[in-house]
Amino acid sequence: RKEVEQDPGPFNVPEGATVAFNCTYSNSASQSFFWYRQDCRKEPKLLMSVYSSGNEDGRFTAQLNRASQYISLLIRDSKLSDSATYLCVVNGGNNDMRFGAGTRLTVKP
């Protein structure tokens, strides 16, 4: 079993749609969690950290469920510019950052 698992997609959604991605992790001692965004042929960029209480940044909402060991990312009112690969990242401690394989999102007009 992979340490961080994501549905690879692709998710193809129309503009304005709401889309959600899930990610599961195997290390119950994991300490911090992130969502990164990676555009085609570019570097990953930090989208947001994920906190136990859940957190929101504009149209993006991240949730963490430690008991079930999963993380989610919700994107509301999708824009064309949201098209990218979204990487779930889990820090097991001591800079042991594990990246998921990514979920590809395409937002269509």
CB closer to other proteins out of 15 and 51: 51
Give the whole-angstrom CA distance, residue 69 versus residue 19.
20
61, 48 Cβ separation under 8 angstroms = no
Contact between 31 and other proteins by CB under 8 A: the answer reads: yes
State which of residues 36, 78, 82, 86 lies at the interface with other proteins (CB under 8 A): 36
Binding track, positions 45-84, relative to other proteins; x by CB under 8 A:
xx--x-----------------------------------
- Interface segment toward other proteins; rule CB under 8 A; list 13-21, 34-42, 56-64, 69-77: 34-42
Chain-centroid distance, C-alpha 67:
18
Give the whole-angstrom CA distance, residue 107 versus residue 26.
30
Give the whole-angstrom CA distance, residue 58 versus residue 70.
22
